[in-house]
């Protein structure tokens, strides 16, 4: 994806590690999706979105670690 660094092996080297690319209409929506993911799993968050010239919306990439136990939902 233009404007983003390639995914490297450490990002997906073990089961439970994931890279999530978000495409959204605007920054606010992209950051809201990231916030929802980070509330549930350990997340290396992005501090900015990227925009590909000629393509609609914005992109955001974050890195998840879903190996930890989740707290029960209330």
pLDDT digits (tens, 9 = 90+) for 12-66: 668 888 889 999 999 999 999 999 999 888 888 899 999 989 999 999 998 888 8
Task: Please state the domain extents for the chain.
Answer: 15-65
Look at residue 1 in the predicted model and tell me its pLDDT. 54
Confidence class for position 70, pLDDT limits 50, 70, 90: low
What global pTM score does this model have?
A: 0.76
* CB-count burial class (<10 Å; 0-12, 13-18, 19+) for 27: middle
Please count the residues of the chain: 74
Strand 17-24 relative to strand 42-44, pairing: unpaired
Distance CA 3, CA 28 (A): 19
Look at residue 42 in the predicted model and tell me its pLDDT. 86
For 35, phi and psi rounded to 5 degrees? -60, -40
For 20-34, the three-class secondary structure string (H helix, E strand, C coil) is EEEEECCHHHHHHHH
């Amino acid at each position: 994806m233009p404007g983003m660094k390639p995914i490297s092996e450490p990002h997906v080297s073990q089961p439970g590690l994931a890279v999530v690319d978000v495409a959204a209409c605007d920054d606010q929506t992209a950051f809201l999706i990231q916030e929802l993911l980070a509330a549930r799993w350990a997340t290396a968050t992005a501090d900015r979105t990227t925009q590909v010239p000629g393509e609609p919306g914005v992109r955001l990439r974050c890195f998840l670690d879903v190996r930890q136990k989740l707290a029960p939902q209330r």
